[in-house]
Amino acid sequence: MRIRALLVVIAVLAGSSLVGCGKKGGDTVKIGVITSLTGNQAAFGAAHKHGYEIALDEINSQGGIGGKKIELDFYDDQSKPDVAVQGVSKLVDQDQAPIILGSYSSESTKAIIGPVNKSEVPLIIPTATADNVMDSHSPWVFRICAGANDYARATIAFLKDNGAPTTMAIVYENTNFGQSNMKAMTAAAQAAGIKLVAVESYEAKSPDYKAVLQRVKAANPEVIYFCSYLLDAVTLMRQAQEIDLNPRYYTSAGTGFAAAEFPTTDKGAGRNAEFTLSVSQWLPEAKWAGGKEFDAEFFKRYGTHPAYHAIQAYEALHVAAQAIRNANSTDSARIRDAIKSLDLSMTPFGPVKFDAGGQNQHPVLITQIQGGKYHVVYPASEADAKPIVPAPRWNQRK
């Protein structure tokens, strides 16, 4: 992408030789990555890996960092928090990586915070939205993405401006991700005067959620807010259709409902995904320079269009690379300090600047699936389509 390429060229020409090259020295700069390459979150881990690969090729093709190429050291957490914890030791103690990017899920990310703090290496979180991953207030932890409270506030703002419903049900996975988003929406809905008529948890990867959905149907909410990963999102929407559950708004805390696979017929909910609304952290249509180019490169390589998980990984690697350049060192403390002072006014993922607590203030979009594709429908300044509300009843859909 031309804008990224120009920035990298300037950085390379302005830089000198890098002080140190990983804790062992060498001809490459090693960056550790923890993500879910296998297990029930492997689809998201694959999106991460693809995003990292695109960023890696961009950076290395423009001279790397101080003339040295980046080497990505991947660790598969198998979609399990306890395995993710082992990844910190592997990457830092054995492989001598001076910085880590990861993980995917909030559950695994929360699990690695303690080991990261103990190891005193910077951690850049690309995707985990549970806000308690930032509760440690660690000087070593930085999050690129918006969080659960941001999701809830954006959804409530959309609802207020598009029909102002007065009742809601929350359906959430009983994990750190689900619980955090449930709590955030509970507080936001109550503050907005929206009555919660049902709050239902479920265990992930169940083959049948009809009992949960029947209880929601009996409560007759105008809005349903789902907090679900991809496999569950697909099952929930299929079974919502089967029991004829017809809220005016199907909304969600992103993740499964925002995955690139979700609208598809082979890996997703297909036509059952139509008219669902979701928070999103990025779409190619967003007015951030380089986003469309990233989408085109991703499609060229992998034959599908990405959701925001891929570009979050892409941006996390670019942020890490820029911090190492600015530090002119692979010393972990110097990299940490460089991350703190970064101020990227425009990237394909939007502006990146971390506050005192390590949180990037990233804007949240509301998308809706229309005609099998995600469209930005809110805020109006960023929208490429108007929202279709209420969602048509199942028996009225073509």
Rounded CA separation 94/97 (Å): 8
Q: Is residue 347 part of a domain?
A: no
Query: Looking at the structure, do residues 264 and 378 belong to the same domain, yes or no?
Result: yes
Q: Is residue 275 part of a domain?
A: yes
Q: Is 366 helix (H, G, I), strand (E, B) or coil?
A: strand
Task: Supply the DSSP symbol for 209.
Answer: -
Q: Is residue 170 part of a domain?
A: yes
- On the question of pLDDT at 22 being above 60, the answer is no
Q: For 224-236, what is each residue's pLDDT tens digit?
A: 999 999 999 999 9
Please work out, in degrees rounded to the nearest 5, the angle formed at the alpha carbon of residue 291 by the alpha carbons of 57 and 185: 115
According to the model, what pLDDT value does residue 205 have? 82
Query: Looking at the structure, do residues 85 and 125 belong to the same domain, yes or no?
Result: yes
Q: Is 4 helix (H, G, I), strand (E, B) or coil?
A: helix
Arithmetic mean of pLDDT, 97-101: 98
Sheet bearing 249-252, strands edge to edge: 195-202, 167-173, 223-227, 249-252
The letter for the amino acid at 183 is K
Angle in degrees, 0-180, between the axes of helices 148-161 and 176-191, rounded to the nearest 10: 40
Q: For 114-160, what is each residue's pLDDT tens digit?
A: 999 999 999 999 999 999 999 999 999 999 999 999 999 999 999 99
Rounded CA separation 219/86 (Å): 44
Query: Looking at the structure, do residues 129 and 68 belong to the same domain, yes or no?
Result: yes
Joined tokens for residue 240: 């919502």
* Overall domain count for the chain: 2
pLDDT averaged over the chain?
A: 93
According to the model, what pLDDT value does residue 287 have? 83
Arithmetic mean of pLDDT, 341-349: 95
Q: How many CB atoms lie within 10 A of CB 161?
A: 13
Q: How many CB atoms lie within 10 A of CB 209?
A: 21
Q: Please, where are the H alpha helices in 220-290?
A: 230-242
Q: Which pLDDT band, with edges at 50, 70 and 90, does 3 fall under?
A: very low
Q: Which pLDDT band, with edges at 50, 70 and 90, does 6 fall under?
A: very low
Q: Please, where are the H alpha helices in 30-147?
A: 42-61, 81-88, 106-119
Query: Looking at the structure, do residues 133 and 220 belong to the same domain, yes or no?
Result: no
Sheet bearing 141-143, strands edge to edge: 69-76, 28-35, 100-102, 123-125, 141-143
Q: Which pLDDT band, with edges at 50, 70 and 90, does 10 fall under?
A: very low
Q: Which pLDDT band, with edges at 50, 70 and 90, does 13 fall under?
A: very low
How would you classify the pairing of strands 167-173 and 123-125?
Answer: unpaired
CATH number at residue 191: 3.40.50.2300
Q: Is residue 298 part of a domain?
A: yes
Q: Which pLDDT band, with edges at 50, 70 and 90, does 398 fall under?
A: confident
Q: For 169-179, what is each residue's pLDDT tens digit?
A: 999 999 999 99
Rounded CA separation 227/176 (Å): 11
* Chain CA centroid to CA 299, Å: 19
- Give the residue with greater pLDDT, 60 vs 285: 60
Query: Looking at the structure, do residues 17 and 92 belong to the same domain, yes or no?
Result: yes
Arithmetic mean of pLDDT, 40-47: 94
Rounded CA separation 358/239 (Å): 40
According to the model, what pLDDT value does residue 16 have? 45
Rounded CA separation 126/105 (Å): 10
- On the question of pLDDT at 11 being above 80, the answer is no
According to the model, what pLDDT value does residue 17 have? 55
- Give the residue with greater pLDDT, 11 vs 253: 253
Rounded CA separation 365/383 (Å): 9
Query: Looking at the structure, do residues 329 and 189 belong to the same domain, yes or no?
Result: no
- On the question of pLDDT at 30 being above 90, the answer is yes
Q: DSSP per residue over 269-320, as a string?
A: -GGGGTT-EEEES--TTSS-TTHHHHHHHHHHHHSS---HHHHHHHHHHHHH
Rounded CA separation 236/125 (Å): 28
Residue 73, domain extent:
2-146+286-341
Rounded CA separation 203/171 (Å): 11
Q: Which helix (H) or strand (E) holds 251?
A: strand 249-252
Residue entry with tokens 């972990």 = 332
Percent of the chain exceeding pLDDT 90 equals 89
- On the question of pLDDT at 213 being above 50, the answer is yes
Q: Is 73 helix (H, G, I), strand (E, B) or coil?
A: strand
Q: For 261-285, what is each residue's pLDDT tens digit?
A: 999 999 999 999 999 999 999 999 8
Percent of the chain exceeding pLDDT 70 equals 94
Residue entry with tokens 């017929």 = 265
Query: Looking at the structure, do residues 53 and 185 belong to the same domain, yes or no?
Result: no
- On the question of pLDDT at 27 being above 50, the answer is yes
Q: Is residue 355 part of a domain?
A: no
- On the question of pLDDT at 7 being above 80, the answer is no
Residue 396: partners with Cβ closer than 8 Å, 6 or more residues away: none
Query: Looking at the structure, do residues 89 and 72 belong to the same domain, yes or no?
Result: yes
Q: Is residue 121 part of a domain?
A: yes
